[in-house]
Amino acid sequence: MTELSAFPITGKWPARHPERLQLYSLATPNGVKVSIMLEEIGLPYEVHKVSFEAEDQLSPAFISLSANNKIPAILDPNGPGGQPLPLFESGAILQYLAEKSGQLLSLDPAQRYQTLQWLMFQMGGIGPMFGQVGFFHFFAGKEYEDKRPRDRYVNESKRLLAVLDRHLQGREWMVDAYSIADIAIFPWVRNLVERYNARELVEFDTFKEVQRVLARFLERPAVQRGLKIPA
Ligand SMILES: N[C@@H](CCC(=O)N[C@@H](CS)C(=O)NCC(=O)O)C(=O)O
């Protein structure tokens, strides 16, 4: 009997390595933030695929860990005080992993708050808005005759891309060094143009700085691995 067996999620997704951090995810733009982070920091983990086709995210076992029935979620057997820590919301998970590993979130207070600022900008702006472009342009909403909802989210996404583009002028990354802000933002930018086929719709080719930094991000070996996890 390991400590993790007290968590109902381990009944549906048994832990083969209960001493490792358990990740419950799918390779979506929110899911890969955490797999990229884990690949970057080199913390041993075990990944479990949450299938949307099988509606795993709605199962009582999954909701017992992730109350909002969304991926990604983690269960760290070695959380604060040596106790297991369950956590959902990718922004909170990125911050937790950065603090646990001492990587990708500066200890300098000003840089630290600026990193958190851009992390929140992703969580509150880019994720929800780009996600709605996905719904109205690529998923079920593309059948809707009334294009006003789609256009509203496309315009807001263009505005957000312009914010990024202005900020990235003369910069290598979102904050001074590569950080959890980049790991939060760039999987969503990639998803918008590559998966949702919205490159022309949002006039992506006009955002040269965003293109430049996205290309650098996608060159990182940990990013390339993380984008494919879980397979
Ligand atoms: N704010 C949440 C959003 C998570 C989220 O929207 N996850 C999506 C996949 S990208 C999901 O689990 N969707 C399943 C559903 O809504 O049933 C986070 O960043 O973790």
Which of 101, 136, 160 lies at the terminal end of a domain, its last residue?
101
Residue of the CA atom closest to atom 1 of ligand 1: 89
Q: Which domain holds residue 113?
A: 109-220
Give the residue from 68, 101, 134 where a domain finishes.
Answer: 101
d(CA 19, CA 91): 24
CA of 84 to the centre of ligand 1 (A): 23
- What residues are paired with 46 via a beta bridge? 22
**What is the pLDDT, as a whole number, of residue 3?**
79
Q: Which residue among 26, 70, 196 is best mutated to probe the pocket of ligand 1, counting the most ligand atoms within 8 A of its Cβ?
A: 70
pLDDT of residue 1: 39
Residue 35, domain CATH? 3.40.30.10
The single-letter code of the amino acid at 150 is R
Residue with CA at minimum distance from ligand 1 atom 19: 90
63 close to ligand 1 (CB < 6 Angstrom): no
- 4-43 burial string, b = 16+ CB within 10 Å, else e? beebebbebbebeebebbbbbbbbbbbbbbbbbbbbbbeb
48 occurs within a structural domain: yes
CA 217, 220, 226, 231 torsion-angle sign: positive
| pLDDT value of residue 137 | 98
Q: What CA dihedral angle connects 93, 95, 96 and 97, to 10 degrees?
A: 80
Tell which atom from ligand 1 comes closest to the C-alpha of 26.
9
Structural domain includes residue 2: no
CB of 90 within 6 A of ligand 1: the answer is yes
Number of domains into which the chain is organized: 2
Question: Within this chain, do residues 178 and 121 fall inside the same structural domain, yes or no?
Answer: yes
pLDDT tens for the chain, 231 residues: list them: 357 999 999 999 999 999 999 999 999 999 999 999 999 999 999 999 999 999 999 999 999 999 999 999 999 999 999 999 999 999 999 999 999 999 999 999 999 999 999 999 999 999 999 999 999 999 999 999 999 999 999 999 999 999 999 999 999 999 999 999 999 999 999 999 999 999 999 999 999 999 999 999 999 999 999 999 999
Is residue 16 a part of any domain in this protein?
yes
Same domain, 73 and 127: no
Helix or strand or coil: residue 152? helix
- Same domain? For 115 and 210 the reply is yes
Please identify which residue in the block is written with the tokens 């099988």: 54
| Domain endpoint, select from 101, 130, 146 | 101
Which residue minimizes the CA distance to atom 15 of ligand 1?
Answer: 70
196, part of any domain: yes
DSSP string, 71-91: S-EEEETT-GGG--EEEESHH
The pTM score is: 0.98
